[in-house]
Amino acid sequence: MSVSATDISIKKVEKSRLSEVDFSNIQFGKIYSDHMLIANYEDGKWKQPEIMPFHNLTLSPATTFFHYGQAIFEGIKAYKGPDGEPLIFRPRDNWKRFNKSAVRMAMPEIPEDIFIEGLKALIKLDENWIPASEDTALYIRPFMVATDEFIGVKTAEKFSFMIITSPAGPYYSKPVSIYVQDQYVRAFPGGIGFTKAAGNYGMSMYPTQEIKKMGYDQILWTDGFEHKYVQEIGTMNVFFVIGDTVITPDIKHDTILAGVTRDSVLALLREKGMKVEERTLSIDEIAEAYKAGQLKEAFGTGTAASIAPIASLTYHDVTMQLPPVETWETANYLKKTLADIRYGRVKDNHNWVVKA
Ligand code: COI
């Protein structure tokens, strides 16, 4: 199917809600822009996408995804450029990853035209919802759910793809305290750890609730066999600066999400000529480096979180306290360089930024 922005039917709101929004105090995921996009899949094909006012859905209680979780999503951000124009960061990479998630979850792949042209048309229409201040953006949430009205366990035949958007500030307002998890497991080889399936987040709620009660912000997951090789933090990929080398877990075992921010960070570090390693990394190696005074920085990367410094890592009864974030060279360099590219302040040599 080939869709151009002019094929997308657009029904606009009668009255925008924009004036009700306090842009000086935006929290993540609390308010949604005026419009949304919907495209339905039925009889083996995608129907024409429609943009319409953001609204509640009416669904049968027997709808498949309520019961069996055939649901996937993505996270993308649009930034306000120097002339107020919307700049979307690497949406094609998210589209590709969305389709990898779709295949693994037995859902139909979505054509590039619907995903990208639909996204661009939606962002253009709601461009005034993109906040302007530093560290803010319009968070874009494409997602797909199985919509058969059937509670027998089988692959669905009907699906809905939707995009909603939400003005967003920083996901974490301060450096995060991390608990290294070696009891519960997020992902095994052969599982769905590499996908953005809803279930990957649903399964993390109980362990995260437990560590929050203990005063930590997030979990660093370890492998399911030996419980010592670090994988990712629930909401982001993870990087460690040990000595003069930046290390991140490799993604070859399908247990870790191939983050678009992760990929951007790796590219920027390699261009700067820094020593970078994507490899198996154990919590013991991190603890040894900490004891030797070699654990210089640790940070998460993700669309929502961007570059999120880690304040401390707790593993069993040992808490590794990282040096003050102001002294970190790598994370601060990455945060500034990525922001300059995303907000269109420097030349985008990578073709990462897409105009709406
Ligand atoms: C994102 O970074 O976009 C995510 O999807 C992770 C999470 C905060 C929901």
Smallest CA separation from ligand 1 atom 5, residue? 75
The verdict on 149 and 219 lying in the same domain is no
Expressed in angstroms and rounded, the spacing between residue 314 Cα and the centre of ligand 1 is 23
Expressed in angstroms and rounded, the spacing between residue 291 Cα and the centre of ligand 1 is 32
Expressed in angstroms and rounded, the spacing between residue 326 Cα and the centre of ligand 1 is 25
Q: Closest ligand 1 atom, CA of 261?
A: 2
Give me the pLDDT at residue 6, please. 67
The verdict on 126 and 209 lying in the same domain is no
In a domain? residue 229? yes
For 67-116, how does the pLDDT look when each residue is reduced to its tens digit (9 = 90+)?
Answer: 999 999 999 999 999 999 999 999 999 999 999 999 999 999 999 999 99
| Among 169, 192, 210, residue at a domain's last position | 169
The verdict on 13 and 55 lying in the same domain is yes
Give the DSSP H/E element, type plus range, for residue 233: strand 230-233
**Which band of pLDDT confidence, cut at 50, 70 and 90, is reported for residue 27?**
confident
The verdict on 198 and 155 lying in the same domain is no
The verdict on 29 and 140 lying in the same domain is yes
| Among 114, 136, 169, residue at a domain's last position | 169
Q: In whole angstroms, give the CA distance from residue 221 to residue 261.
A: 19
Q: Closest ligand 1 atom, CA of 76?
A: 3
Expressed in angstroms and rounded, the spacing between residue 209 Cα and the centre of ligand 1 is 17
Q: Taking residues 129-145, what's their average pLDDT?
A: 96
The verdict on 154 and 195 lying in the same domain is no
Expressed in angstroms and rounded, the spacing between residue 293 Cα and the centre of ligand 1 is 32
Sign of the dihedral defined by the CA atoms of residues 99, 103, 105, 109, in that order: positive
For 209-243, how does the pLDDT look when each residue is reduced to its tens digit (9 = 90+)?
Answer: 999 999 999 999 999 999 999 999 989 999 999 99
Pick the closest to residue 64 from 155, 197, 200 (CA basis): 155
What six digits make up the tokens of 210? 């437990």
Smallest CA separation from ligand 1 atom 6, residue? 235
Q: Coil, strand, or helix at residue 200?
A: helix
Give me the pLDDT at residue 253, please. 86
**Which band of pLDDT confidence, cut at 50, 70 and 90, is reported for residue 7?**
confident
Average pLDDT, the chain: 96
> Strand 318-321 and strand 353-355: pairing?
unpaired
Q: Closest ligand 1 atom, CA of 139?
A: 3
For the chain, state the CA radius of gyration.
Answer: 21
In a domain? residue 131? yes
Expressed in angstroms and rounded, the spacing between residue 154 Cα and the centre of ligand 1 is 28
Q: In whole angstroms, give the CA distance from residue 147 to residue 134.
A: 39
Q: Which class for 271: exposed (0-12), middle (13-18), buried (19 or more C-beta within 10 A)? A: exposed
In a domain? residue 209? yes
Expressed in angstroms and rounded, the spacing between residue 167 Cα and the centre of ligand 1 is 14
In a domain? residue 220? yes
Q: Is the CB of 91 under 6 A from ligand 1?
A: no
Give the Cα-Cα-Cα angle 225, 226, 231 (nearest 5 degrees).
80
In a domain? residue 263? yes
Task: For residue 223, give its domain range.
Answer: 176-342
Q: Is the CB of 300 under 6 A from ligand 1?
A: no
| Among 169, 200, 227, residue at a domain's last position | 169
**Which band of pLDDT confidence, cut at 50, 70 and 90, is reported for residue 312?**
very high
Q: Closest ligand 1 atom, CA of 141?
A: 3
The verdict on 154 and 260 lying in the same domain is no
pTM: 0.96
In the 8-state DSSP scheme, what is residue 149?
B
Q: Is the CB of 235 under 6 A from ligand 1?
A: yes
The DSSP secondary structure of 11-32, one letter per residue, reads: ---SS-SGGG--TTSPPTTS--
Q: Is the CB of 304 under 6 A from ligand 1?
A: yes
In the 8-state DSSP scheme, what is residue 165?
E
Q: In whole angstroms, give the CA distance from residue 186 to residue 101.
A: 16
Q: Is the CB of 303 under 6 A from ligand 1?
A: yes
In a domain? residue 350? no
Mutation to probe ligand 1, out of 138, 143, 235 (largest number of atoms < 8 A from CB): 235
The backbone torsions φ and ψ at residue 217, rounded to the nearest 5 degrees and listed phi first, read: -90, -40
What six digits make up the tokens of 236? 């982001």
The DSSP secondary structure of 55-86, one letter per residue, reads: ------TTBHHHHH--EEE--EEEEE-TTS-E
Smallest CA separation from ligand 1 atom 3, residue? 75
The CATH code of the domain that includes 119 is 3.30.470.10
The verdict on 125 and 228 lying in the same domain is no
Neighbours of 40 (CB within 10 A): 16
Whether residue 193 is predicted with pLDDT greater than 80 in this model: the reply is yes
Q: Is the CB of 302 under 6 A from ligand 1?
A: yes
Pick the closest to residue 295 from 305, 306, 279, 283 (CA basis): 283
The verdict on 163 and 252 lying in the same domain is no
Number of domains composing the chain = 2
Q: Closest ligand 1 atom, CA of 171?
A: 8
The verdict on 102 and 198 lying in the same domain is no
What six digits make up the tokens of 56? 């509640």
What six digits make up the tokens of 171? 């996901």
Q: In whole angstroms, give the CA distance from residue 204 to residue 68.
A: 17
The verdict on 125 and 62 lying in the same domain is yes
In a domain? residue 323? yes
Q: In whole angstroms, give the CA distance from residue 70 to residue 199.
A: 8
Give the DSSP H/E element, type plus range, for residue 180: strand 176-181
The CATH code of the domain that includes 325 is 3.20.10.10
Whether residue 5 is predicted with pLDDT greater than 80 in this model: the reply is no
Give the DSSP H/E element, type plus range, for residue 159: strand 159-168
In a domain? residue 351? no
**Which band of pLDDT confidence, cut at 50, 70 and 90, is reported for residue 142?**
very high
The verdict on 164 and 181 lying in the same domain is no
